């Protein structure tokens, strides 16, 4: 019984982690160094 | 009743309880409100019922300093005033606009927003607008706020012509140029009115209200005061000083995943500003941003450009574009100008109009703090876009340069003429008191944005009409 609950909790956590990873993989990284390139205001990770 | 002073100079009434000079939003809304209380009003308009070249010539003047459009284009000298060609954007000044701002000691008003609020519904009725939806805070961390506005379609000359024609209490006289104000030191005892043929007549009234516009109020008071050997306006008053605009520039483009709402009369645009806390934290003047949607072709062009320059973020934006959730937009920034003594309206020493009155010379320059407001505001907005992954900005080269602004077309020009006869608690700081009465004169008042001590970030017309409603209330109780 406990192992089934642990499996379900683990599965839930894993699915949330995957969702978050997917979201952040698509979005540009949040980093601080900012710079101008050909008029565009960019940050590290954009290029 | 409507009278043309050029066609029938003898028909000019010689006396009225209220003599209002100028039939633009400030003067006409005041006249309409006084009429609602069955009071007798003489409304003088220097121009004709429609735009005419000879009237337009009278608005010629010079601007010394930063780039500005010709003063004859920047206002309309006709029945209904500059509302004949306004955009109709209507929203209130914020509470912050009236407050003292740290470091900007000359920006404080002698009244608060709550003093104008009771006149909001009447002003909206005059402009035929409804209350816009409430502001929405888009992001608390960065203090980004979306605000909505109302769009008035009221051109005063067209909307109220029939009402004035049949009015029992308002006599509106067109072609009637105010060319003199006589004072006994305490009161205005008569106004001189002249038509285009040079025929003059005097008018007496219990109260005189100047509502001639954000440059003419200063110019004519400077001239009348000079003619009266300084007996009209206290020499301590900053007459003509602290003249302001709302500098506004397209500073670049934005690619964003923010929803840009459609509007009834204009291109889709998203209007944004900061919360009061952010303005205080950044130590800048009030400002606002307009993200004005561009065509899908324009958006694709921006995306291609971004993909070339910054492939990773470009791909991210392109992936959103496929789902129609990224928009290309013109990025426009407007702000309230720093109120400065050095920015002023003065009488030209070389040029005079056809009535022999010196033309206006507007000395106008944006300050380092104006530039800092623009740069800090853009920087903070960019921080928000980047931190929250809402998009990227492409800016024009001049934005973060030390000085220099674009100088063609409507660059930097909002056609909002503010200050010159500002209101204040004391004559050393202003020309009129909190009730718009000229300091030291019992029966001379000023209406319009020339009384604003600072510009705030709102288009001024709704506040102008609110102030006229408040002035009517004051005059009716006087």
pLDDT of residue B375: 97
In B, what residues contact A, Cβ < 8 A? 252, 305-306, 309-313, 316, 319, 382, 386-387, 389, 392-397, 400
pLDDT at B322: 72
Which residue spans within chain A are E strands per DSSP? 34-37, 40-43
Question: How far does B136 lie from chain A, in Å, by closest CA?
Answer: 25
Confidence of residue A24 (pLDDT cuts 50, 70, 90): low
Kindly give the parts of chain B with pLDDT less than 70: none
Crossing angle, helix B296-309 and helix B311-321, to 10 degrees? 150
Q: Which pLDDT does position A2 carry in this prediction?
A: 63
Q: Which of A32, A33, A34, A42 to mutate to test the interface with B (most CBs of B within 10 A)?
A: A42
The token duo for B404 is: 């220099």
Q: Element (H or E) spanning B109, and its range?
A: none
- Rounded to whole angstroms, the Cα distance separating A23 from A25 reads 5
Please give the angle made by the CA atoms of B19, B47 and B232, to the nearest 5 degrees.
45
Comparing alpha-carbon positions, the chain B residue that sits nearest to A37 is B309
**Looking at the partner chain, which of A26, A39, A43 has a beta carbon nearest the beta carbon of B316?**
A26
Cα gap B395→B373, rounded to integer Å: 16
Which pLDDT value is given to residue B27? 98
| pLDDT computed for residue A20 by the predictor | 61
Task: Determine how β-strand B287-293 pairs with β-strand B269-274.
Answer: antiparallel
- The confidence score (pLDDT) of residue A12 equals 77
The total of other beta-carbon atoms located within 10 Å of residue B25's CB is: 30
**A4, containing H or E segment:** helix A2-26
Interface touch A39/B252, C-beta < 8 Å: yes
pLDDT confidence of residue B466: 98
Are the C-beta atoms of B320 and B259 separated by less than 8 Å?
A: no
Q: Residue A29 has what pLDDT? A: 46
Cα B212 to the center of its chain, rounded Å: 13
Query: Is the per-residue pLDDT at A16 higher than 80?
Result: no
Work out whether strand A40-43 and strand A34-37 pair parallel, antiparallel, or are unpaired.
antiparallel
Mean pLDDT of all residues in A8-14: 77
Cβ-nearest to A27 among B382, B389, B393 = B389
**A–B CB contacts, 8 A cutoff, strictly below:** 55
Q: Which of B389, B391, B398 to mutate to test the interface with A (most CBs of A within 10 A)?
A: B389
Instruction: Give this prediction's pTM.
Output: 0.92
Which pLDDT score is estimated for A22? 60
Q: Which residues of B415-433 are buried (b: 16+ CB within 10 A; e: fewer)?
A: bbbbbbbbbbeebebbbbb
Q: CA-CA distance, B434 to B420, in Å (whole number)?
A: 15
Q: Which residues contact B223 (CB under 8 A, 6 or more apart)?
A: B347, B357, B358
Q: Which residue has the higher pLDDT, A26 or B437?
A: B437
Instruction: Verify whether the Cβ–Cβ distance A38 to B309 is below 8 Å.
Output: yes
List the beta strands (DSSP E) in B220-278: 248-256, 269-274
How close does chain B come to A6, measured CA to CA in Å? 35
């Amino acid at each position: 019984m406990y192992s089934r609950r642990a499996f379900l909790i683990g599965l839930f956590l894993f699915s949330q982690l995957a969702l978050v990873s997917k979201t952040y993989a698509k979005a540009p990284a949040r980093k601080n160094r900012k710079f101008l390139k050909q008029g565009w205001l960019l940050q590290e990770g954009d290029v | 009743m409507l009278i043309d002073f050029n066609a029938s100079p003898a028909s000019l009434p010689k006396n009225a309880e209220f003599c209002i000079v100028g039939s633009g939003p400030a003067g006409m809304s005041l006249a309409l409100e006084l009429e609602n209380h069955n009071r007798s009003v003489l409304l003088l308009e220097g121009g004709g019922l429609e735009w005419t070249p000879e009237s337009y010539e009278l608005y010629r003047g010079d601007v010394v300093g930063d780039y500005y459009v010709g003063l004859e284009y920047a206002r309309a000298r006709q029945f209904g005033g500059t509302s004949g060609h306004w955009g109709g954007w209507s929203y209130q000044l914020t509470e912050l606009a009236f407050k003292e701002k740290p470091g900007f000691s000359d920006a404080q008003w002698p009244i608060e927003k709550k003093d104008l609020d009771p006149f909001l519904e009447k002003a909206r009725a005059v402009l035929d607008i409804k209350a816009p939806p409430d502001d929405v805070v888009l992001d608390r961390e960065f203090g980004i706020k979306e605000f909505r506005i109302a769009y008035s379609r009221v051109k005063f000359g067209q909307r109220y012509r029939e009402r004035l024609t049949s009015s029992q209490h308002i006599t509106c006289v067109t072609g009637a140029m105010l060319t003199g104000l006589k004072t006994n030191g305490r009161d205005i005892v008569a106004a001189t009115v002249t038509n285009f043929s040079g025929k003059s007549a005097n008018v007496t009234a219990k109260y005189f209200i100047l509502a001639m516009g954000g440059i003419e109020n200063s110019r004519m008071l400077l001239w009348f005061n000079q003619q009266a050997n300084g007996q009209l306006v206290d020499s301590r008053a900053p007459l003509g000083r602290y003249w302001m605009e709302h500098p506004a520039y397209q500073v670049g483009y934005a690619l964003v995943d923010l929803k840009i709402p459609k509007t009834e009369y204009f291109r889709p645009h998203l209007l944004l500003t900061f919360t009061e806390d952010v303005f205080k934290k950044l130590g800048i003047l009030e400002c606002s941003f307009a993200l004005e949607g561009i065509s899908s072709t324009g958006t694709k062009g921006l995306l291609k450009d971004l993909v070339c320059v910054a492939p990773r973020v470009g791909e991210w934006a392109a992936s959103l574009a496929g789902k129609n959730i990224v928009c290309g937009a013109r990025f426009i920034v407007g702000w309230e100008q720093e109120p400065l003594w050095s920015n002023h309206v003065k009488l030209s020493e070389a040029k005079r109009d056809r009535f022999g009155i010196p033309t206006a010379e507007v000395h106008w320059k944006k300050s380092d703090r104006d530039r800092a407001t623009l740069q800090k505001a853009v920087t903070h907005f960019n921080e928000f876009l980047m931190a929250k992954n809402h998009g990227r900005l492409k800016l024009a080269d001049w934005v973060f340069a030390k000085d220099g602004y674009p100088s063609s077309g409507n660059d930097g020009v909002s056609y909002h003429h503010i200050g010159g006869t500002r209101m204040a608690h004391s004559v050393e700081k202003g020309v009129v008191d909190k009730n718009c009465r000229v300091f030291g004169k019992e029966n001379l008042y000023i209406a319009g944005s020339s009384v604003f001590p600072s510009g705030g970030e709102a288009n001024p017309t709704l506040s102008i009409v609110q102030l006229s409603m408040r002035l009517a209330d004051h005059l009716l109780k006087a």
